[in-house]
């Protein structure tokens, strides 16, 4: 499970507070309210996308007045950045924990990686945030840091089973599998259901796990 509010760098109560995207409320009640707003905002973003992400919708979902939201976040843009920071931190933490537990074989590592992406990209509103971050430099920078951290965790877990890798260029293979899986889920959840798309997230997960493992363990080509 992702780390709790008190488990992050510098003793911050909010995941990602050390990124500097949100000022820390001083009272416990304000902390609870801010987390309540962030969770509601994430749910609105996952349900309605960037276009439907309004302060009124977040207020309705959280049960906190629009004025109360503005009192804790620097407008819609500030709230969006705080949600992005929270979501990406949860994704980083969840991936690191799952990869740490998947230590039996290379197949287990690849499966854990793909399963985490399958579940978190959908539930944590990663796709709309990735789409929005192209126009928001602080959020874009945070997204790039998350990608670097996620790849580092994936690389470390895979290389614990380096003797199972048969690809002629392991580093290139690792990067290819990482981006293939992440990009596939972002694309699938961004486009939704339709002709030519995976039948389900479970089907996509299973196929990507098979493809990723096969690519990493393909024999060295003869020159």
Residue found by looking up tokens 């430099």 in the block: 137
Residue found by looking up tokens 């002709």 in the block: 195
Crossing angle for the helix pair 170-191 and 137-159, to the nearest 10 degrees: 130
Report which of 95, 97, 102 is spatially closest to residue 147, judged by C-alpha positions.
95
Q: Determine the pLDDT at residue 3.
A: 41
The residues, ordered by sequence, that sit 6+ positions from 115 with a Cβ below 8 Å of its Cβ are 98, 205, 209
Task: Share the mean pLDDT of the chain.
Answer: 82
CATH no. for 9-216: 1.10.357.10
Q: Determine the pLDDT at residue 181.
A: 93
Q: Determine the pLDDT at residue 27.
A: 61
Phi and psi at residue 8, to the nearest 5°: -100, 170
Confidence label for 20 from pLDDT (cuts 50, 70 and 90): very low
Tens digit of each residue's pLDDT (9 = 90 or more) over 174-207: 999 999 999 888 887 765 555 555 557 788 899 9
Tens digit of each residue's pLDDT (9 = 90 or more) over 51-98: 889 999 999 999 999 999 998 888 888 998 999 898 899 899 999 999
DSSP state letter for 174: H
Per-domain residue ranges for the chain?
9-216
Q: CA 102, CA 97: separation in Å to the nearest integer?
A: 9
Residue found by looking up tokens 């709230």 in the block: 79
Q: pLDDT at residue 9 above 50?
A: no
Indicate the range of 105-119, 126-140, 157-171 predicted with least confidence: 126-140
Residue found by looking up tokens 């260029």 in the block: 169
Q: Determine the pLDDT at residue 162.
A: 93
């Amino acid at each position: 499970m992702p780390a709790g509010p008190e488990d992050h760098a510098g003793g911050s109560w909010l995941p990602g507070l050390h990124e500097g995207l949100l000022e820390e409320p001083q009272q416990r009640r304000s902390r609870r309210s801010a987390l309540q707003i962030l969770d509601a905002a994430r749910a609105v973003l996952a349900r309605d996308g960037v276009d439907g992400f309004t302060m009124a919708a977040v207020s309705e979902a959280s049960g906190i007045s629009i004025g109360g939201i503005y009192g804790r976040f620097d407008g819609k843009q500030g709230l969006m950045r705080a949600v992005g920071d929270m979501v990406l931190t949860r994704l980083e933490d969840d991936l690191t924990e799952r990869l740490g537990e998947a230590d039996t074989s290379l197949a287990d590592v690849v499966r854990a990686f793909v399963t985490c992406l399958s579940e978190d990209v959908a539930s944590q509103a990663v796709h709309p945030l990735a789409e929005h971050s192209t126009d928001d430099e602080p959020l874009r920078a945070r997204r790039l840091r998350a990608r670097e951290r996620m790849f580092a965790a994936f690389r470390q877990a895979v290389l614990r089973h380096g003797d199972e890798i048969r690809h002629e260029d392991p580093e290139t293979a690792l990067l290819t599998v990482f981006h293939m899986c992440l990009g596939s889920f972002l694309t699938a959840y961004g486009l939704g259901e339709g002709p030519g798309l995976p039948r389900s997230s479970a089907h996509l997960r299973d196929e990507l796990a098979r493809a990723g493992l096969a690519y990493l363990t393909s024999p060295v080509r003869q020159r």
